[in-house]
Amino acid sequence: MTNAILPEVEKYIAAQILKQPSRTIAVDEPLISSGLIDSFSLMDLALFVEDTFGVRIEDTELNANTFDNLAQLAALIESRKA
């Protein structure tokens, strides 16, 4: 399942947040602590995740303590689907 989540989230972050559609993001690449994703974009990401995967994630839950890379985010989404 995680395999299906990863590419979609990666594509969204690359195209919509980083404005670099052709960019690849490693699963363990730091996203928040590295400055790639700021607090405004985090909220966009939360909305995208809710709409795309049908899970509920509060805006306040998305921060560097709950996830900082794609693998952790996918795991978070996965755990909500269960």
Partner 1 sequence: MTTFTERLSAIYSRTPEQVAITLQFSGRDDLRLTYKQLLRGAERYARTLEREGIQPGEVVVLILQHGEDLVYSFWGTILQGSIPSIMPFLTEKLSPERYKADLSALISITKPSVIITYTEFEGEVRAALQEGDSVRSVIVTDRIEPAAEVDFASLQGLRRNSEDIVLLQHSSGTTGLQKGVALSHQAVFNQLNSYGKSLSITDEDVVVSWLPLYHDMGLIAGFLMPVLSGIPLVIMSPFDWVRAPYRLFQSISKYRGTLTWLPNFAYNFCAQKIRDRHIEGVDLSSLRAIINCSEPVRWESHVAFYERFKDYGLKMEALQTSYAMAENVFGVTQSQLGSLPVVDEIDREAFMSERVAKSPLDGHPSMQMMSSGQPLENVRVKVIDEDGKELPDQLIGEIALQSDCMLTGYFNRPDLTEKAFREGWYLTGDYGYISNREVFVSGRKKDMIIVGGKNVYPQDLEVLTYEVPGVHAGRSVAFGLFDESQGTEDVVVIAEVDSENADEQQRIADAIRLHVTKNSAIALRYVKVVGPRWILKTSSGKTARSANKDKFLLELQESGGV
- Residues lying near partner 1 in the complex (CB under 8 A) are found at 19, 23, 34-36, 38-41, 43-44, 47, 59-60, 63-64
Nearest distance, CB of residue 22 and partner 1, angstroms: 10
Nearer to partner 1, 3 or 35 (CB): 35
In the chain, % helix, strand, coil (3-state, to 5) comes to 55, 0, 45
Nearest distance, CB of residue 23 and partner 1, angstroms: 7
SS3 58: coil
82 DSSP 8-state letter: -
